[in-house]
A = this chain, B = another copy of it.
Amino acid sequence: MANTLSSGAIYSSRVLIRCSSSERGGQQRSNAAVRVNGATHRATLQVGAALETSINETLAELSAPLLAPATDGRERSRQNIPTEKQAEDPFRQAQIVEGGVRYQQTVVVRSYEVGPDRTATLETLLNLLQETALNHVWMSGLLGDGFGATHGMIKSNLIWVVSRMHVQVDHYPLWGDVLEIDTWVGSSGKNGMRRDWLIRGRGSGNIYVRATSTWVMMNKNTRRLSKMPEEVRGEISPWFSDRHAIHEEATDKIIKLDSNARHVDSGLKPKRSDLDMNQHVNNVKYVRWMLETIPDQFLQHHQLSSIILEYRKECGSSDVVQSICQPDEDSVSPSENVTMVRGPSLLPEFINGHHSLAGALQQWPTKYTHLLQLKAGDGYEEIVRGRTTWKKKL
Point out residues on A near B: beta carbons under 8 Å.
15, 78-82, 91-93, 106, 108-112, 114-119, 121, 123, 127, 130-131, 134, 173-178, 202, 271-273, 275-279, 282, 284, 288, 291-292, 296, 299
Cβ B92 vs Cβ A111 within 8 A: no
Q: How far is A256 from B26 in the complex, measured between Cα atoms in Å?
A: 39
Instruction: Out of B127, B284, B292, B299, name the residue touching A110 (CB < 8 Å).
Output: B127
Pair B178/A91 contact, Cβ less than 8 Å: yes
Within the complex, the shortest CB–CB distance from A307 to chain B, in Å, comes to 15
In the complex, how many angstroms separate the beta carbon of A304 from the nearest chain B beta carbon?
A: 12
Q: From residue A119, how far is it (CB to closest CB) to chain B in Å?
A: 8
CA distance A277 to B288 in the complex (A): 18
Contact B272 A118 (CB under 8 A): no
Report B-chain residues with C-beta under 8 Å of the C-beta of A82: 176
Knowing A272-B292, A273-B121, A288-B271, say if A177 contacts B80 (CB, 8 Å): yes
Q: In the complex, A93 Cα to B107 Cα: how many Å?
A: 10
The chain B residue with its CB closest to the CB of A121 is: B273
B-chain residues with CB within 8 Å of residue A292 when the two chains form the complex: 271-273
**A-B pairs with beta carbons under 8 Å apart, 9 shown:** A78-B117, A78-B175, A79-B118, A91-B106, A91-B202, A93-B93, A112-B276, A123-B273, A272-B299
Q: Identify which of B121, B130, B175, B296 contacts A112 (C-beta below 8 A).
A: B130
Interface SS of chain A: helix, strand, loop or mixed? loop
Cα distance A275–B121 when bound, in Å? Answer: 11
Known A-B contacts A108-B91, A111-B131, A288-B273; the reply to A116 vs B175 at CB < 8 A is no
When distances are taken between beta carbons in the complex, the residues of chain B under 8 Å from A131 are: 110-112
Task: Name the CB-closest residue of B to A289.
Answer: B271
- Which residues does chain B contribute within 8 Å of A277, judged by CB atoms? 111, 114-116, 118, 175
Cβ-defined contact, A284 with B108, below 8 A: no
Known: A93-B91, A108-B91, A108-B92. A115 touches B275 (CB 8 A): yes
Query: Which of chain B's residues have a CB closer than 8 A to the CB of A288?
Result: 271, 273
Cβ distance A141 to chain B, nearest Cβ, rounded Å = 15
Contacts of A81 in B (CB 8 A): 175-176
Minimum CB–CB distance for A27 against chain B, Å:
15
Q: Which 6 A-B pairs have the closest CB atoms?
A: A81-B176, A80-B176, A78-B118, A112-B127, A80-B174, A79-B175
- CB-CB nearest in chain B for A106: B91
Q: For the complex formed, measure the closest distance between the CB of A311 and the CB atoms of chain B, giving whole angstroms.
A: 17
Please, which residue of chain B has its CB at the minimum distance from the CB of A112? B127
Cα separation A176 to B134 with both chains bound (whole Å) = 11
The CB with the most chain B CB atoms within 10 A, among A131, A175, A176, A202, is that of: A176
